[in-house]
Structure 1
Amino acid sequence: MYTNGESATYQQDFWLFGYGSLIWKPPPHFDRRVPGYIDGFVRHTHASSEDHRGTPEDPGRVVTLIDKSFWETVWGAAYHIIPENVEEVKAYLDIREINGYSIQYTDFQPAEQTLPVIKCLVYIGMPDNPQFLGALQPEDVAEKINQSRGPSGENRDYLLNLEQALLELSPGSKDQHISDLAARVRGMARPDRSVLRG
Protein backbone atom coordinates (compact mmCIF):
# COMPACT_ATOMS: atom_id res chain seq x y z
CA MET A 1 0.00 0.00 0.00
CA TYR A 2 1.18 3.55 -0.74
CA THR A 3 0.63 6.85 0.98
CA ASN A 4 -1.66 9.27 -0.81
CA GLY A 5 1.30 11.43 -1.75
CA GLU A 6 3.33 8.52 -3.13
CA SER A 7 0.38 7.14 -5.08
CA ALA A 8 -0.38 10.57 -6.55
CA THR A 9 3.25 11.00 -7.59
CA TYR A 10 3.16 7.77 -9.59
CA GLN A 11 -0.35 7.96 -11.03
CA GLN A 12 -0.67 11.61 -12.02
CA ASP A 13 1.28 14.34 -13.77
CA PHE A 14 3.67 13.91 -16.67
CA TRP A 15 5.99 10.91 -16.96
CA LEU A 16 8.38 10.28 -19.85
CA PHE A 17 9.94 6.93 -20.81
CA GLY A 18 13.50 7.05 -22.17
CA TYR A 19 14.99 4.02 -23.90
CA GLY A 20 17.87 5.59 -25.88
CA SER A 21 19.96 8.66 -25.12
CA LEU A 22 17.44 9.83 -22.52
CA ILE A 23 18.79 7.10 -20.22
CA TRP A 24 22.20 8.76 -19.85
CA LYS A 25 21.26 12.28 -20.97
CA PRO A 26 17.94 12.93 -19.21
CA PRO A 27 15.50 15.75 -19.91
CA PRO A 28 15.57 18.94 -17.84
CA HIS A 29 13.29 19.55 -14.87
CA PHE A 30 12.72 16.00 -13.70
CA ASP A 31 12.46 15.28 -9.98
CA ARG A 32 12.28 11.49 -10.08
CA ARG A 33 14.06 8.84 -12.22
CA VAL A 34 12.74 5.28 -12.05
CA PRO A 35 14.48 2.36 -13.82
CA GLY A 36 12.13 -0.19 -15.35
CA TYR A 37 10.71 -1.52 -18.58
CA ILE A 38 7.78 -1.60 -20.98
CA ASP A 39 6.29 -4.71 -22.58
CA GLY A 40 5.41 -5.44 -26.18
CA PHE A 41 8.38 -3.78 -27.91
CA VAL A 42 11.95 -4.51 -28.88
CA ARG A 43 14.67 -1.84 -29.19
CA HIS A 44 16.38 -1.74 -32.59
CA THR A 45 18.68 0.58 -34.58
CA HIS A 46 16.17 1.03 -37.41
CA ALA A 47 15.91 4.85 -37.13
CA SER A 48 17.90 7.40 -39.10
CA SER A 49 19.49 10.40 -37.38
CA GLU A 50 19.99 13.41 -39.64
CA ASP A 51 19.78 15.97 -36.85
CA HIS A 52 21.87 14.65 -33.94
CA ARG A 53 24.13 11.68 -34.78
CA GLY A 54 24.41 12.24 -38.51
CA THR A 55 23.56 14.73 -41.23
CA PRO A 56 21.06 14.70 -44.14
CA GLU A 57 23.96 13.80 -46.46
CA ASP A 58 25.26 11.08 -44.13
CA PRO A 59 22.58 9.99 -41.63
CA GLY A 60 23.58 8.02 -38.55
CA ARG A 61 21.61 5.28 -36.84
CA VAL A 62 19.77 5.51 -33.52
CA VAL A 63 17.32 3.28 -31.69
CA THR A 64 13.56 3.13 -31.97
CA LEU A 65 10.98 0.65 -30.69
CA ILE A 66 9.30 -2.04 -32.77
CA ASP A 67 6.14 -3.93 -31.79
CA LYS A 68 6.97 -7.40 -30.58
CA SER A 69 5.22 -10.32 -28.92
CA PHE A 70 3.85 -9.73 -25.44
CA TRP A 71 6.84 -11.31 -23.65
CA GLU A 72 9.46 -8.86 -24.96
CA THR A 73 10.58 -6.02 -22.70
CA VAL A 74 12.54 -2.82 -23.32
CA TRP A 75 14.49 -1.42 -20.39
CA GLY A 76 14.88 2.28 -19.83
CA ALA A 77 14.00 4.93 -17.27
CA ALA A 78 10.85 6.89 -16.49
CA TYR A 79 11.24 10.54 -15.56
CA HIS A 80 8.66 12.47 -13.58
CA ILE A 81 8.65 16.05 -14.83
CA ILE A 82 8.02 18.84 -12.34
CA PRO A 83 4.45 20.01 -13.13
CA GLU A 84 5.25 23.70 -13.68
CA ASN A 85 7.92 22.74 -16.26
CA VAL A 86 5.90 20.25 -18.35
CA GLU A 87 5.30 22.57 -21.32
CA GLU A 88 8.94 23.66 -21.40
CA VAL A 89 10.10 20.02 -21.33
CA LYS A 90 7.63 19.00 -24.05
CA ALA A 91 8.97 21.80 -26.28
CA TYR A 92 12.55 20.67 -25.55
CA LEU A 93 11.68 17.06 -26.37
CA ASP A 94 9.95 18.04 -29.63
CA ILE A 95 13.31 19.41 -30.79
CA ARG A 96 15.39 16.58 -29.39
CA GLU A 97 13.18 13.57 -30.18
CA ILE A 98 10.62 14.45 -32.85
CA ASN A 99 12.69 13.88 -36.04
CA GLY A 100 10.80 10.88 -37.40
CA TYR A 101 9.29 9.93 -34.05
CA SER A 102 5.66 10.01 -32.98
CA ILE A 103 4.23 10.42 -29.50
CA GLN A 104 2.72 7.32 -27.90
CA TYR A 105 1.67 6.41 -24.37
CA THR A 106 2.56 3.13 -22.69
CA ASP A 107 2.48 1.38 -19.35
CA PHE A 108 5.87 1.35 -17.61
CA GLN A 109 6.78 -1.28 -15.01
CA PRO A 110 9.31 0.00 -12.46
CA ALA A 111 12.19 -2.36 -11.72
CA GLU A 112 11.27 -2.08 -8.06
CA GLN A 113 8.25 -4.38 -8.17
CA THR A 114 6.59 -2.75 -5.14
CA LEU A 115 5.95 0.41 -7.18
CA PRO A 116 2.79 0.69 -9.30
CA VAL A 117 2.71 0.75 -13.10
CA ILE A 118 3.20 4.27 -14.52
CA LYS A 119 1.58 5.65 -17.68
CA CYS A 120 4.40 7.26 -19.69
CA LEU A 121 4.81 9.28 -22.85
CA VAL A 122 7.31 7.68 -25.24
CA TYR A 123 8.67 8.74 -28.64
CA ILE A 124 8.65 5.90 -31.20
CA GLY A 125 9.92 5.91 -34.79
CA MET A 126 7.11 4.10 -36.62
CA PRO A 127 7.73 2.11 -39.84
CA ASP A 128 5.60 4.52 -41.90
CA ASN A 129 7.85 7.57 -41.35
CA PRO A 130 10.74 8.54 -43.65
CA GLN A 131 13.37 8.21 -40.90
CA PHE A 132 12.59 4.52 -40.39
CA LEU A 133 15.28 2.66 -42.32
CA GLY A 134 14.58 -0.94 -41.36
CA ALA A 135 17.02 -3.77 -40.88
CA LEU A 136 20.53 -4.17 -42.24
CA GLN A 137 23.11 -6.82 -41.51
CA PRO A 138 24.65 -6.10 -38.07
CA GLU A 139 28.10 -5.50 -39.57
CA ASP A 140 26.65 -2.90 -41.96
CA VAL A 141 24.82 -1.13 -39.13
CA ALA A 142 28.01 -1.12 -37.01
CA GLU A 143 30.02 0.32 -39.91
CA LYS A 144 27.42 3.06 -40.45
CA ILE A 145 27.38 3.91 -36.74
CA ASN A 146 31.17 3.96 -36.57
CA GLN A 147 31.58 6.46 -39.41
CA SER A 148 28.60 8.81 -38.78
CA ARG A 149 28.75 12.09 -36.91
CA GLY A 150 26.26 14.91 -36.38
CA PRO A 151 25.68 18.07 -34.32
CA SER A 152 25.29 16.02 -31.12
CA GLY A 153 28.53 14.14 -31.68
CA GLU A 154 29.84 10.79 -32.85
CA ASN A 155 27.24 8.13 -33.63
CA ARG A 156 29.56 5.50 -32.09
CA ASP A 157 29.58 7.42 -28.78
CA TYR A 158 25.76 7.32 -28.76
CA LEU A 159 25.85 3.53 -29.09
CA LEU A 160 28.61 2.96 -26.53
CA ASN A 161 26.94 5.34 -24.03
CA LEU A 162 23.63 3.52 -24.51
CA GLU A 163 25.22 0.14 -23.89
CA GLN A 164 26.94 1.37 -20.69
CA ALA A 165 23.76 3.07 -19.43
CA LEU A 166 21.76 -0.11 -19.95
CA LEU A 167 24.33 -2.24 -18.13
CA GLU A 168 24.19 0.15 -15.16
CA LEU A 169 20.41 0.60 -15.14
CA SER A 170 19.21 -2.51 -13.34
CA PRO A 171 19.94 -6.24 -13.04
CA GLY A 172 18.63 -7.86 -16.22
CA SER A 173 18.56 -4.65 -18.28
CA LYS A 174 21.27 -5.68 -20.77
CA ASP A 175 20.19 -5.49 -24.43
CA GLN A 176 21.85 -8.16 -26.59
CA HIS A 177 21.31 -6.25 -29.87
CA ILE A 178 22.99 -3.11 -28.47
CA SER A 179 25.84 -5.08 -26.89
CA ASP A 180 26.49 -6.97 -30.13
CA LEU A 181 26.65 -3.73 -32.15
CA ALA A 182 28.84 -2.07 -29.49
CA ALA A 183 31.31 -4.97 -29.59
CA ARG A 184 31.50 -4.69 -33.38
CA VAL A 185 32.04 -0.92 -33.23
CA ARG A 186 34.73 -1.23 -30.56
CA GLY A 187 36.56 -3.52 -32.97
CA MET A 188 36.66 -0.81 -35.65
CA ALA A 189 39.11 2.07 -35.90
CA ARG A 190 37.67 5.51 -35.20
CA PRO A 191 37.29 7.54 -38.41
CA ASP A 192 40.08 10.04 -39.10
CA ARG A 193 38.17 13.34 -38.89
CA SER A 194 41.31 15.37 -39.64
CA VAL A 195 40.88 14.46 -43.33
CA LEU A 196 37.47 16.18 -43.28
CA ARG A 197 38.89 19.30 -41.57
CA GLY A 198 41.92 19.54 -43.86
Structure 2
Amino acid sequence: MPSPSPDTFGQADDSFWLFGYGSLLWKPPPHFDQRVPGYIEGYVRRFWQASEDHRGTPSAPGRVLTLIDRAHWDTLTDHHEPPERVWGAAYHIPAAKVAEVREYLDIREINGYSIQFTPFHPAPFVTSISSLPTTPAHSSTRSITASTTIFAKPEKQGQAINCLVYIGLPSNPQFLGPQDPDALARHILKSQGPSGENREYLFLLEKCLLELSRDSGDKHVSDLVRRCKEIEAVAQTQAEGDEDGGDGAEQTQVPVGESLHIDGSSEQPEEVEK
Protein backbone atom coordinates (compact mmCIF):
# COMPACT_ATOMS: atom_id res chain seq x y z
CA MET A 1 0.00 0.00 0.00
CA PRO A 2 1.74 3.21 -1.16
CA SER A 3 2.36 6.06 1.27
CA PRO A 4 0.62 9.31 0.32
CA SER A 5 1.95 12.78 0.97
CA PRO A 6 1.41 13.81 4.61
CA ASP A 7 0.42 17.29 3.41
CA THR A 8 -2.42 16.13 1.16
CA PHE A 9 -3.53 12.88 2.83
CA GLY A 10 -7.34 12.75 3.09
CA GLN A 11 -8.00 16.27 1.83
CA ALA A 12 -9.25 15.34 -1.64
CA ASP A 13 -10.99 11.99 -1.28
CA ASP A 14 -12.21 11.96 2.35
CA SER A 15 -9.78 9.14 3.23
CA PHE A 16 -8.10 10.57 6.31
CA TRP A 17 -7.75 7.80 8.89
CA LEU A 18 -5.59 8.09 12.00
CA PHE A 19 -4.39 5.10 14.05
CA GLY A 20 -4.25 5.52 17.83
CA TYR A 21 -2.28 3.06 19.96
CA GLY A 22 -1.84 5.07 23.15
CA SER A 23 -3.53 8.16 24.55
CA LEU A 24 -5.73 8.57 21.46
CA LEU A 25 -7.66 5.55 22.75
CA TRP A 26 -9.13 7.57 25.62
CA LYS A 27 -8.59 11.12 24.38
CA PRO A 28 -9.33 11.00 20.65
CA PRO A 29 -8.87 13.75 18.07
CA PRO A 30 -11.61 16.32 17.46
CA HIS A 31 -14.20 15.96 14.68
CA PHE A 32 -13.90 12.20 14.16
CA ASP A 33 -17.06 10.59 12.81
CA GLN A 34 -15.96 6.95 13.01
CA ARG A 35 -13.95 5.02 15.58
CA VAL A 36 -12.97 1.50 14.50
CA PRO A 37 -11.15 -1.01 16.74
CA GLY A 38 -8.54 -3.16 15.04
CA TYR A 39 -4.83 -3.69 14.64
CA ILE A 40 -1.69 -3.08 12.62
CA GLU A 41 1.19 -5.46 12.01
CA GLY A 42 4.95 -5.15 11.75
CA TYR A 43 5.40 -2.99 14.87
CA VAL A 44 6.06 -3.44 18.59
CA ARG A 45 4.47 -1.12 21.20
CA ARG A 46 6.82 -0.04 24.00
CA PHE A 47 7.11 2.56 26.78
CA TRP A 48 10.45 3.65 25.37
CA GLN A 49 9.73 7.31 24.59
CA ALA A 50 10.50 10.14 27.02
CA SER A 51 7.75 12.70 27.66
CA GLU A 52 8.84 16.22 28.55
CA ASP A 53 5.56 17.94 27.70
CA HIS A 54 2.66 15.79 28.92
CA ARG A 55 3.51 13.07 31.47
CA GLY A 56 6.79 14.61 32.56
CA THR A 57 8.84 17.77 32.38
CA PRO A 58 12.12 18.72 30.65
CA SER A 59 13.98 18.26 33.94
CA ALA A 60 12.15 15.02 34.81
CA PRO A 61 10.76 13.32 31.67
CA GLY A 62 8.04 10.72 32.04
CA ARG A 63 7.61 7.62 29.89
CA VAL A 64 5.10 7.19 27.07
CA LEU A 65 4.55 4.90 24.12
CA THR A 66 6.11 4.60 20.74
CA LEU A 67 6.09 1.94 18.04
CA ILE A 68 9.26 0.15 16.95
CA ASP A 69 9.55 -1.47 13.55
CA ARG A 70 9.53 -5.21 14.16
CA ALA A 71 12.70 -5.75 12.12
CA HIS A 72 14.55 -3.20 14.27
CA TRP A 73 13.09 -4.63 17.49
CA ASP A 74 14.50 -8.04 16.52
CA THR A 75 18.00 -6.57 16.85
CA LEU A 76 17.39 -5.39 20.43
CA THR A 77 17.38 -7.11 23.82
CA ASP A 78 13.95 -6.90 25.41
CA HIS A 79 12.31 -8.38 28.51
CA HIS A 80 8.90 -8.93 26.89
CA GLU A 81 7.91 -10.94 23.83
CA PRO A 82 5.49 -8.84 21.79
CA PRO A 83 2.24 -10.00 20.18
CA GLU A 84 2.08 -10.25 16.41
CA ARG A 85 -0.46 -7.41 16.27
CA VAL A 86 -0.59 -3.94 17.79
CA TRP A 87 -4.22 -3.29 18.72
CA GLY A 88 -5.72 0.17 18.82
CA ALA A 89 -8.40 2.24 17.12
CA ALA A 90 -8.61 4.06 13.79
CA TYR A 91 -10.40 7.40 13.60
CA HIS A 92 -11.91 8.82 10.42
CA ILE A 93 -11.78 12.58 9.93
CA PRO A 94 -14.11 14.23 7.34
CA ALA A 95 -12.26 16.01 4.52
CA ALA A 96 -13.55 19.44 5.60
CA LYS A 97 -11.85 19.03 9.00
CA VAL A 98 -8.57 17.43 7.91
CA ALA A 99 -6.48 20.62 7.93
CA GLU A 100 -7.73 21.61 11.40
CA VAL A 101 -7.18 18.13 12.84
CA ARG A 102 -3.71 17.84 11.29
CA GLU A 103 -2.70 21.11 12.93
CA TYR A 104 -4.05 19.85 16.25
CA LEU A 105 -2.20 16.53 15.92
CA ASP A 106 1.10 18.11 14.87
CA ILE A 107 1.04 20.24 18.03
CA ARG A 108 -0.02 17.31 20.21
CA GLU A 109 2.70 15.04 18.81
CA ILE A 110 5.50 17.61 18.64
CA ASN A 111 7.73 15.94 21.24
CA GLY A 112 9.73 13.57 19.03
CA TYR A 113 7.07 11.99 16.80
CA SER A 114 7.16 11.48 13.03
CA ILE A 115 4.46 10.53 10.53
CA GLN A 116 4.25 7.12 8.89
CA PHE A 117 1.51 5.26 7.04
CA THR A 118 0.46 1.67 7.68
CA PRO A 119 -2.37 -0.73 6.75
CA PHE A 120 -4.95 -0.98 9.52
CA HIS A 121 -7.15 -4.08 9.84
CA PRO A 122 -10.62 -3.49 11.36
CA ALA A 123 -11.79 -5.99 13.96
CA PRO A 124 -14.38 -8.42 12.58
CA PHE A 125 -17.01 -7.54 15.20
CA VAL A 126 -17.38 -3.84 14.32
CA THR A 127 -20.97 -2.60 14.38
CA SER A 128 -22.76 0.33 12.78
CA ILE A 129 -24.88 3.13 14.24
CA SER A 130 -26.79 5.97 12.62
CA SER A 131 -25.41 8.98 14.50
CA LEU A 132 -22.76 10.17 16.93
CA PRO A 133 -23.27 11.70 20.38
CA THR A 134 -23.44 15.48 20.20
CA THR A 135 -20.32 17.38 21.23
CA PRO A 136 -20.37 21.05 22.32
CA ALA A 137 -19.09 23.36 19.59
CA HIS A 138 -16.43 24.81 21.90
CA SER A 139 -15.00 21.43 22.89
CA SER A 140 -11.74 20.46 21.18
CA THR A 141 -11.97 16.82 22.14
CA ARG A 142 -14.22 14.13 23.55
CA SER A 143 -13.36 11.33 25.92
CA ILE A 144 -13.81 7.61 25.31
CA THR A 145 -15.12 5.61 28.27
CA ALA A 146 -15.96 1.97 28.85
CA SER A 147 -19.58 2.56 27.83
CA THR A 148 -18.80 4.27 24.51
CA THR A 149 -20.28 2.67 21.41
CA ILE A 150 -17.85 1.72 18.67
CA PHE A 151 -18.49 3.65 15.47
CA ALA A 152 -17.91 2.18 12.03
CA LYS A 153 -19.46 1.69 8.62
CA PRO A 154 -20.11 -1.95 7.67
CA GLU A 155 -18.45 -1.60 4.27
CA LYS A 156 -15.06 -1.11 5.99
CA GLN A 157 -15.23 -4.48 7.69
CA GLY A 158 -12.59 -6.86 6.41
CA GLN A 159 -10.80 -4.18 4.37
CA ALA A 160 -7.37 -2.82 5.20
CA ILE A 161 -7.43 0.96 5.69
CA ASN A 162 -4.40 3.14 5.00
CA CYS A 163 -3.81 4.97 8.27
CA LEU A 164 -1.58 7.82 9.34
CA VAL A 165 0.28 7.07 12.58
CA TYR A 166 2.65 9.10 14.76
CA ILE A 167 5.78 7.18 15.79
CA GLY A 168 8.80 8.16 17.87
CA LEU A 169 11.51 6.75 15.63
CA PRO A 170 14.76 5.42 17.19
CA SER A 171 16.57 8.40 15.66
CA ASN A 172 14.53 10.96 17.63
CA PRO A 173 16.15 12.42 20.79
CA GLN A 174 13.31 11.23 23.05
CA PHE A 175 13.71 7.54 22.13
CA LEU A 176 15.21 5.63 25.06
CA GLY A 177 15.40 2.04 23.85
CA PRO A 178 15.12 -1.09 26.03
CA GLN A 179 14.76 -0.54 29.78
CA ASP A 180 14.60 -2.76 32.83
CA PRO A 181 10.86 -3.31 33.52
CA ASP A 182 11.09 -2.78 37.28
CA ALA A 183 13.08 0.43 36.91
CA LEU A 184 10.64 1.56 34.22
CA ALA A 185 7.65 0.90 36.48
CA ARG A 186 9.23 2.88 39.31
CA HIS A 187 10.00 5.74 36.97
CA ILE A 188 6.41 5.82 35.71
CA LEU A 189 5.11 5.92 39.29
CA LYS A 190 7.18 8.95 40.25
CA SER A 191 6.62 10.95 37.03
CA GLN A 192 3.98 13.55 36.28
CA GLY A 193 3.52 16.50 33.95
CA PRO A 194 0.94 18.98 32.62
CA SER A 195 -1.38 16.16 31.46
CA GLY A 196 -1.27 14.39 34.82
CA GLU A 197 0.41 11.45 36.50
CA ASN A 198 2.39 9.05 34.34
CA ARG A 199 0.74 6.11 36.14
CA GLU A 200 -2.68 7.33 34.93
CA TYR A 201 -1.48 7.08 31.33
CA LEU A 202 -0.32 3.49 31.90
CA PHE A 203 -3.46 2.34 33.75
CA LEU A 204 -5.88 3.96 31.28
CA LEU A 205 -3.98 2.37 28.41
CA GLU A 206 -4.36 -1.14 29.79
CA LYS A 207 -8.05 -0.54 30.50
CA CYS A 208 -8.71 0.69 26.95
CA LEU A 209 -6.76 -2.15 25.33
CA LEU A 210 -8.61 -4.84 27.25
CA GLU A 211 -11.93 -3.34 26.16
CA LEU A 212 -11.12 -3.49 22.44
CA SER A 213 -11.11 -7.28 22.00
CA ARG A 214 -10.46 -10.51 23.85
CA ASP A 215 -7.17 -10.65 21.89
CA SER A 216 -6.10 -7.01 22.31
CA GLY A 217 -4.11 -7.22 25.54
CA ASP A 218 -0.43 -6.29 25.58
CA LYS A 219 1.92 -8.20 27.92
CA HIS A 220 4.40 -5.32 28.04
CA VAL A 221 1.69 -2.96 29.24
CA SER A 222 0.05 -5.40 31.65
CA ASP A 223 3.39 -6.39 33.19
CA LEU A 224 4.17 -2.74 33.89
CA VAL A 225 0.73 -2.29 35.46
CA ARG A 226 1.31 -5.34 37.66
CA ARG A 227 4.72 -4.09 38.77
CA CYS A 228 3.37 -0.62 39.53
CA LYS A 229 0.52 -1.99 41.63
CA GLU A 230 2.87 -4.26 43.56
CA ILE A 231 5.20 -1.33 44.31
CA GLU A 232 2.23 0.80 45.39
CA ALA A 233 0.96 -2.01 47.64
CA VAL A 234 4.35 -2.28 49.37
CA ALA A 235 4.46 1.49 49.86
CA GLN A 236 0.93 1.46 51.27
CA THR A 237 1.77 -1.35 53.70
CA GLN A 238 4.87 0.48 54.89
CA ALA A 239 2.91 3.70 55.35
CA GLU A 240 0.25 1.91 57.38
CA GLY A 241 2.96 0.24 59.47
CA ASP A 242 4.49 3.60 60.33
CA GLU A 243 1.08 4.94 61.35
CA ASP A 244 0.70 1.98 63.68
CA GLY A 245 4.09 2.63 65.30
CA GLY A 246 6.34 0.66 62.98
CA ASP A 247 10.10 0.48 63.22
CA GLY A 248 10.61 3.56 61.08
CA ALA A 249 12.29 1.71 58.22
CA GLU A 250 12.90 3.79 55.11
CA GLN A 251 9.85 3.83 52.86
CA THR A 252 9.84 3.33 49.13
CA GLN A 253 9.46 6.79 47.62
CA VAL A 254 6.50 5.99 45.39
CA PRO A 255 3.21 7.90 45.58
CA VAL A 256 0.11 5.88 46.27
CA GLY A 257 -2.30 7.28 43.67
CA GLU A 258 -5.97 8.08 43.87
CA SER A 259 -8.62 6.48 41.71
CA LEU A 260 -8.36 7.20 38.00
CA HIS A 261 -10.65 9.46 36.06
CA ILE A 262 -10.96 10.64 32.46
CA ASP A 263 -11.38 14.36 31.98
CA GLY A 264 -12.79 15.34 28.60
CA SER A 265 -12.53 19.09 29.22
CA SER A 266 -11.07 21.12 26.40
CA GLU A 267 -9.04 23.01 29.01
CA GLN A 268 -7.01 19.94 29.94
CA PRO A 269 -3.46 20.01 28.40
CA GLU A 270 -3.45 17.94 25.23
CA GLU A 271 -2.19 14.40 25.67
CA VAL A 272 0.71 13.08 23.65
CA GLU A 273 0.12 10.07 21.44
CA LYS A 274 2.04 7.27 21.53
Quick check: 1:191 aligned with 2:203? no
User: Does structure 2 retain, via aligned residues, the 8 Å contact 1:125–1:132?
Assistant: yes
Equivalent residue of 2:24, what SS? coil
Cα separation, 2, equivalents of 1:188 and 1:60: 17
Shift of 1:97: 1.6
Secondary structure in 1 aligned to 2:97?
A: helix
Unaligned runs of 5+ in 2: 1-12, 75-82, 126-156, 233-253, 258-274
Higher relative contact order structure (alpha carbons within 8 Å, sequence separation ≥ 6)? 2
Query: 1:154 matched to which residue of 2?
Result: 197
- Note the C-alpha offset of 1:192: 7.2
Question: Once structures 1 and 2 are overlaid, which stretch shifts more, 181-190 or 128-137?
Answer: 181-190
Higher fraction of helix: 1
TM-score, normalised via structure 2 length? 0.64
Q: Does 1:117 align with 2:168?
A: no
- For residues 17 and 158 of structure 2, the distance between their equivalents in structure 1, rounded to whole angstroms, comes to 14
Aligned to 2:93: 81
Deviation for aligned residue 1:72: 2.2
Report the secondary structure of 1:188's partner residue: helix
Match of 2:62 in 1: 60
Question: Aligned pair count?
Answer: 183
Distance 1:23 1:192, change over 3 A: closer
Q: 2:115 touches 2:164 (CA, 8 Å); kept in 1? A: yes
Q: Structure 1 length as normaliser, TM-score? A: 0.87
Q: Residues 135-154 of structure 1 correspond to what in structure 2 (within 5 A)? A: 135-154=178-197
The aligned runs of 1:26-105 (5 Å cut-off) are: 26-68=28-70, 72-105=84-117
Q: Deviations over 1:172-191 (max 9, x none)?
A: 00000000001111223352
Q: What is residue 21 of structure 1 aligned with on the other side?
A: 23
Distance 2:191 2:56 in 1: 5
Q: Given residue 162 of structure 2, which amino acid in structure 1 is its aligned partner?
A: K
Preserved contact between residue 103 and residue 124 of structure 1 (Cα < 8 Å): yes
CA contact (8 A) 2:31 2:94 kept: yes
Question: Once superposed, which parts of structure 1, at least 4 consecutive aligned residues long, lie more than 4 Å away?
Answer: none
Say what the alpha-carbon RMSD is for the aligned residues: 1.9
Higher relative strand content: 1
Larger radius of gyration: 2
Measured in 1, the distance between the counterparts of 2:85 and 2:158 equals: 17
Shift of residue 17, structure 1, vs aligned partner: 0.2
Q: 8 Å contact 2:14–2:95 — kept in the other structure?
A: no
Residues of 1 paired with 2:97 and 2:166: CA distance?
19
The sequence identity of aligned pairs, in percent, is 62
SS at match of 1:48: strand
Output aligned runs, 1:161-172, within 5 Å. Answer: 161-172=204-215
- Deviation at residue 12 of structure 1 after TM alignment: 4.8
Q: Distance in 2 between matches of 1:192 and 1:140?
A: 17
